[in-house]
Structure 1
Amino acid sequence: MVRNFDPDRPVPGDVRERILSNALHAPSAGFSQGWAFLVLEGADKERYWEVAGAQPGREDWVGRLRRAPLLVLPFAHEQAYRDRYGEPDKNRSAWTAPYWFIDTGMASLLMLLTVVDEGLGACFVGLPVPRIDAIKAEFGVPDEFAPIGAIPIGYRAPDPRSPSLRRGRRPTSEVVHRGQWGQHTG
């Protein structure tokens, strides 16, 4: 994930539209497509960062994210799933998870993959919880849409290595179970 961007290189319009279009091909339970995306550039993007507010102790990190010329906020729409699964060919009791969040996350991942394919950088970050209502109000987002995060997108700039990476990735032998839980060899 990229957390520092070149503010002088905008994301070309055709690339931006490809990123957004690819998100619409994400899996969607019952083909509900309960997602929406707020695309912010220029003054609108700066307005987002002002409303989101400073995060004490994280000024450097937020400052680098703020340099991204494009910011996409994915929103999940639960009611789209409730409506779809209220139709005769569906059954709400089949839900094992809140698919409106899962599917919006998958759409976000498709955006991230497209960004990489286009030679750009991006990351997925959470929104400051105390500021969510203010962010939604500022941009006229209806109450029934829930933000799942923000995706700053742009051309990569030198990025300090995250201290979190010192932990390393968990090995497959620890997280992949084969045939039965606890069995790690195949």
Structure 2
Amino acid sequence: MPEIQVRKRLITVEEIFHEGGPPAETPLRRAAALAVVKNPYAGRYVEDIQPFMEDLKPFGLTMAKALIDALGGDPSVVEGYGKGAIVGSAGEIEHGALWHAPGGYAMRELLGDAKAIVPSTKKVGGPGTRLDVPVTHINASYVRGHFDAIEVGITDAPRADEIVFVLVMTTGARIHDRAGGLKAKDIKGEDGLR
């Protein structure tokens, strides 16, 4: 496979102080890292696309590290995560699926062997396409207060022969979480669910 060709990267960090109620003692931070990469399979059908997934594994680690750094460099503050991909129109949805292992395992590794599956989404779209990336708790998918989504996109991406790879992380539950269910403090950590 050719070397991964990156046209641009974007890292954004959002701080939420309140959602109409009292200000939080500690603001919730939500961060997203996006990378616009040339799609080596654009414009043609290729049966064996898994070699690109292998090439993306170190790239996933680089993106995950940059995202942790954007949140202050301490992986222990990260409580939620998710991933996604937007494939340009000359590609196919399966090209975005190649991000599942490189993106998910990279975050899990750098966050200390997080237990929960990394939620994911993908779509095919043109420049300016927006993607809602789902978020769950890193160690227990059933922690309801961490169910969230982060909307991402880049004005001029993806071009037809590109893919936008996305990783997201959060530092806690939604501000003013009061929908009930399992709380982070009650996680047993046995199965990635509870």
Q: What TM-score do you get using the length of structure 1 for normalisation?
A: 0.32
Instruction: Answer 1 or 2: which has greater helix percent.
Output: 1
Q: Which has the higher contact order (CA 8 A, sep 6+)?
A: 1
Instruction: Answer 1 or 2: which has greater strand percent.
Output: 2
Larger Rg over CA atoms: 1
Q: What TM-score do you get using the length of structure 2 for normalisation?
A: 0.31
